[in-house]
Chain A
Amino acid sequence: MTYQLAPWTAIAPMLVLVITAMVLYIVDSIYPEREHPQLLSGISVAGTVTAMAIAIWYLAAGTGQHGGEIVLFWDQLVVDGMALFFTVIFTAVASLVIVASYDYVRAQPHQGEYYSLLLLATTGMALMASANSLVMVFIALELASLPSYALVSYLKRNRGSVEAGLKYFLLGALSSTIFLYGISLVYVETGVLQLTAIAGTVGEIENVAILGFGVVLLILGFAFKTASVPFHFWAPEAYEGAPTPISAFISSASKAAGFVIAFRVLIEAFPYEVLLELGIDWVLMIQVIAVATMLLGNFAAAVQENVKRMLAYSSIGHAGYALIGLAALTNPGGTNDLVLAAAMMHLLVYGFMNTGAFLFVALGEHWGVGRTFEDYNGLATQAPIACVAVTVVLLSLAGLPVGGGFLSKYVLFMGAVSAGFWWLAAVGAVVSALSLFYYARLLKAIWIESPPSTRVVDEYPVGLYTAIVLAALLTVVLLPAFFAVAETAQIAAVDLFA
């Protein structure tokens, strides 16, 4: 290589995001009285797309991959394949959400704040993907969470939005304390916070109980961020009350961010074989959580009347699938990297599918359609393109081979089976079948039922449409392109285990 960028440029995506947030503040303060939706959303999407492009470029160029991870700030940050891969997920979802938000918040005040908070949350998530010590993990997590609380209650005059934000914040604060307590317990035993350093000392600790408590509490902290059982309670409330693009953002990007810290912390800091000898079987714990999450998310989704709540529970169910990526890690040197790569791929595909589904609900809200399944009756006659797009993403969410969701689930379940956990895959397959039921309810409503005469659909918001169709398109493209992209994910997974 003739020319190499300085190491600090590895965090360029984060820098771009944070600079864009600052630019938004500046632009907004130049015109404090008037809203400029085009300008603000234009700057925002330029920022996220640039960050995404840099991350993709780094991925393609092999930056930080194949064992060449770049560490910065005295090992506090690390840029490797997984960090870049997840940065792509966050920025891609953020881009879709910003494009869709253009229509959604056009008539709202404080748009500058909205977009800059969105970008700061994205920055926090990107930082989570790179955090290499427990302290950085916590700081990044808070950097992602605090803007999210504000975004959920963005509709200040809407009681539902404010209530949702408050609940999210309260439960988030509780989880943060639990997480922080977990960090402190780990620190008590190991005396270090850097992840690889923990791995180095964890074998010689004196008191297993303290470390065990710490690990359990850390896992519960991850469970909050990924909306997994038993820390899932906030999710349906927050998703339902939040502005729907924000629901899409939190349920897709924020969930993925929870997973990236879970992956990195558990795999880097707490090598499974070592902890199993100590009697801390964290894989078993993840398995329990995964099964409970899959069951609860899907069963609860099946009985919802409200479409947005149904999607909220389905998103809990999907966290359960992705947890299989950790729950099947008992086979070092064998299928571990495959399973982890499958989970990463699932989060990527899920980012598009789920965002697309939530944005469809946002479109419905934009038209004042209503909240229940019945309210969507016959929408296909009035908005066929959006309905085709949502059909694709819903069927892909259910795991039918119309989009990448089929392959990511398939590889996950196959990974679980080859790791010997056929029952994990069986639970996953059964609840996937159940999920088809509740996704099909929405499809039946929009395609088969006849529309009510009172509903008028007279304008087609460009931003929302673009975002939904783009999400559906990416979902479909990830079916043929699945294995090409999965290669990148697998390289990242191999590096993480190395």
Chain B
Amino acid sequence: MDAAFTYAPLIALFPLASFVIALAFGKYLPTRGALPGIVATGASLLVSVWVAAAVWQGHVHHEVLYTWIAGEDVVSLEFGILLDPLSALMLVVVSLISFLVHVFSLGYMNAEGETGLPRYYAELGLFSFSMLAFVYADNLLMAFIFFELVGVCSYLLIGFWFRDGAPASAQKKAFLVTRFGDYFFLIGVVGILATFGTTTFVGSEGFPQLAEAAIAGGETFWGIDASQWVTLLGLLVLGGVIGKSAQFPLHTWLPDAMEGPTTVSALIHAATMVAAGVYLVARMFGFYAVSPTALAIIAFVGAFTALFAATMGVVKDDIKQVLAYSTISQYGYMMLGLGVGGYVAAVFHLMNHAFFKALLFLGAGSVIVAMHHKQNMWEMGGLKEHLPVTYWTFLAGSLALAGIVPFSGFWSKDEVLFEALLLGAEAPIFIAAYAMALAAVFLTGFYTFRMVALTFHGEARTDDAATPHGVGWSIKFPLVVLGVLATVAGLINMKPVAVVADLDILYLETWLDAGFETTAYGTYTTLVTEVAGFSYADIGPLLPAIIALVLAVAGAALGYRTYAVAEPTEPVKRLGGAYDLVRANYYQDEFQVWLAEGFTARLARAADSFDQIVIDGTVNGISTVSLRAGSRVRRLQRGIVTNYAALMAASIVALLLLFAVYGGWF
């Protein structure tokens, strides 16, 4: 075993230690716990890189660390560690972002004199721990446990300023909405455990493998055909994914979650909470790859969410709100990528998005610091001159988000679109998904550059914007690191270039094709084509890439032209009713509130009445009858001994007669 793997569990345990330290001693530390957090996540990053290097050399690792319930002839519940190309990649990404967020927090939280910092750093540590442990979980149940912990930490961090009304409400909403999805996830976990007797991800005894075998063997479970049953289980687990990754219709929590500190938003959106959902689908992709129905649902949910969220991103005034909707939209792309069988494309986009979205949020954080904690873009303008580092890095992130060559987002988004098109050319229904995603490309370009233009270009529209306050190295350093990554990360998998120039430069694809055979990209491709029956057209990648690029550039140019002027106005408002509809987020919040209050609460009240009247009534009735019967007995016992003697004599006679007759003694 490679030495790196021996130390791999530490990747998650370091932040756990920083959690404990910040919680116990944060008050007494000079930075209120930031330093232990930085050291811990830095150490995690180093070990992650070490592990990645080991994986690069072709080693993989799967080990059960702890059996917490050992079953005899039945299921055992275990904690284990799984290090393969996918988890190694994700570990590096998560620990890197977490590390940079910790550093950034020095400038964003400490320098601003926030109170409650030990709590903040403790929660950040716990958050990192949960996510990292989730990433290297070797089975679905363990993944579920840490998935839930991630949710709890998000709850805590979104409500960091819990004394204000809005964060407290937002944290509740985030928790409840994701819990709703997790409910299905839990049923799915239990279902998988009950069906296959294991929740392990890899190996011939892993549940995706067993599912494939069951389908191949034409088995039935509880009278249901194996492929349908697998689809059902997959969709149940998908409930948790849709909640966590903020896909339609459970996306409503995410914009509200902007109430948390911006650093937390960066972490949630780029590397932890929201990423957890998509990562889970990628982690158990072998299970979805055998079910065409589940794949199609994932693809359409993703494509629709991508477009749907992009339209809402167009009309937001708050810089963080725009980013929030862009996150929803971008995770939609990843889902689309997975749904059309583009495993590499989706993981590629997951990684790139982690970099550029962290960059954008931290950039927005920098802007917010400079703007004295104002977030409305209409109050900004002309910040370019004052915040050069922030501007240039933010621009790099924006170009990546908009998908403009050669920034990272272009390569991965293009690959997702390309995969969708290839599938759509053979199965026309997927063309609809492709079209939605393509439309979203234009909108993404538009709202991204609307945001850039309103924030940085034009002239300062308020005094705050005219006299921003400077930002320190702890803010600039993470921005620069991420800016570089957002620019160049895409170069590791340039599919159009590789195909056109016939070069072997698809490094990510090669990377993901290694490792365990059951979780390798090649295996997934085989499953998708042979079991799920997807087939892909043979189209060159160049033309689709150009179409996507043209749309992105057109959107970006339009956004820039409209808003990067001295006195920008809001032309979108002219859309009238449509504008109002989008502005109100399609009344999704109202709809969900109605669902909760108008429907669920009424149902609950009805159930409550039933419980009160029928159930409690029965119970109370029984106890009343019991007590009455008791008092009867009590009245029999009056303390007069002759009565007792008489009763005893009478009972002798009664019993004798009864048994004499019954036994036929005479």
Contact = CB atoms under 8 A, between A and B. Distances in A.
A, B bound: yes
Interface of A: 166-167, 170-171, 174-175, 178, 208-209, 212-213, 216-217, 220, 230-231, 233-234, 236-237, 278-281, 284-285, 296, 299-304, 434, 437
B187 interface: no
Given A230-B647, A279-B663, A299-B629, A213 B656 contact: yes
A230 B637 CA distance: 12
Contact of B655 (A208, A278, A285): A285
A477 B434 CA distance: 70
A237 B631 CA distance: 16
Given A233-B637, A236-B637, A281 B660 contact: no
Given A170-B641, A178-B652, A233-B644, A208 B663 contact: yes
Contact of B660 (A209, A230, A296, A434): A209
A285 B659 contact: yes
A300 B662 contact: no
Contacts of A284: 659, 662
B639 A281 contact: no
B634 A303 contact: yes
A217 B655 CA distance: 9
A388 to B, nearest CB: 28
A209 B665 contact: yes
Contacts of A178: 652
B663 A171 contact: no
A321 B630 CA distance: 18
Interface in B545-582: none
Given A278-B663, A280-B659, A434-B626, 12 more contacts: A167-B644, A171-B641, A171-B645, A209-B660, A209-B665, A209-B666, A230-B651, A231-B651, A236-B637, A284-B659, A300-B634, A437-B623
Q: Which 3 A-B pairs have the closest CB atoms?
A: A279-B663, A303-B630, A230-B651
B142 to A, nearest CB: 30
Contacts of B666: 209
B630 A212 contact: no
Given A299-B629, A302-B626, A303-B631, A280 B663 contact: yes
A230 B648 contact: yes
Interface of A is mostly: helix
A216 B637 contact: no
B637 A300 contact: yes
A230 B653 CA distance: 12
Interface of B: 623, 626-627, 629-631, 633-634, 637, 639, 641, 644-645, 647-648, 651-652, 655-656, 659-660, 662-666
B634 to A, nearest CB: 6
B663 A300 contact: no
Contacts of A302: 626-627, 630
B663 A231 contact: no
If over half of B's interface residues share one DSSP class (helix, strand or loop), that class is named, otherwise mixed; here it is: helix
Contacts of B629: 299
B441 to A, nearest CB: 63
Given A212-B665, A302-B626, A434-B626, A174 B648 contact: yes
A231 B633 contact: no
Nearest to B649: A174
Nearest to A174: B645
Contact of A212 (B634, B639, B659): B659
5 contacts: A170-B645, A178-B652, A216-B656, A279-B665, A284-B662
Contacts of B660: 209, 212-213
Contacts, number: 83
Interface centre among A208, A217, A233 (most CB of B within 10 A): A233
Nearest to B665: A209
Contact of B633 (A280, A296, A434): A296
Nearest to B644: A233
Contacts of B641: 166-167, 170-171, 237
A364 to B, nearest CB: 22
Given A171-B641, A171-B644, A302-B626, A216 B659 contact: yes
B278 to A, nearest CB: 45
Contacts of A208: 663, 665
A167 B648 CA distance: 13
A231 B631 CA distance: 19
A391 B663 CA distance: 46
A220 B631 CA distance: 25
Contacts of A171: 641, 644-645, 648
B320 to A, nearest CB: 50
Nearest to B655: A216
Given A167-B641, A170-B641, A212 B663 contact: yes
Contacts of B645: 170-171, 174
A303 B627 contact: yes
A213 B664 CA distance: 12
Contacts of B644: 167, 171, 233-234
Nearest to A303: B630
Name the residue among B631, B639, B644, B656 with the largest chain A CB count within 10 angstroms. Answer: B644
Contacts of A209: 660, 665-666
Contacts of A237: 637, 639, 641
A163 to B, nearest CB: 9
Contacts of A216: 652, 655-656, 659
**Of B631, B641, B662, B663, which is in contact with the most chain A CB atoms at under 10 Å from its CB?**
B663
A171 B626 CA distance: 28
Contact of A217 (B623, B652, B662): B652
A280 B660 CA distance: 8
A175 B652 CA distance: 11
Contacts of A174: 645, 648
B575 to A, nearest CB: 64
A166 B631 CA distance: 25
Nearest to B633: A300
Contacts of B655: 216, 220, 230, 285
Contacts of A230: 647-648, 651, 655
Contacts of B648: 171, 174-175, 220, 230-231, 233
A281 B659 contact: yes
Contacts of B627: 302-303
A182 to B, nearest CB: 10
Given A216-B659, A279-B664, A233 B634 contact: no
A278 B663 CA distance: 8
Contacts of A220: 648, 651-652, 655
A284 B663 CA distance: 11
B645 to A, nearest CB: 6
A239 B633 CA distance: 17
A413 B527 CA distance: 54
Given A171-B645, A233-B647, A279-B665, A299 B633 contact: yes
A144 B585 CA distance: 87
A170 B664 CA distance: 34
Contacts of B626: 299, 302, 434
A213 B655 CA distance: 10
A140 B627 CA distance: 39
Contacts of B630: 299-303
A58 B398 CA distance: 89
Nearest to B632: A299
A280 B658 CA distance: 11
Contacts of A213: 656, 660
A165 to B, nearest CB: 12
B626 to A, nearest CB: 6
A35 to B, nearest CB: 33
A92 B630 CA distance: 33
Residue among B629, B656, B665 with max Cβ neighbours from chain A (10 Å): B665
A268 B228 CA distance: 64
Contacts of A167: 641, 644
Contacts of B651: 220, 230-231
Given A171-B648, A230-B651, A233-B648, A281 B634 contact: no
A397 to B, nearest CB: 18
Contacts of A170: 641, 645
A281 B633 contact: no
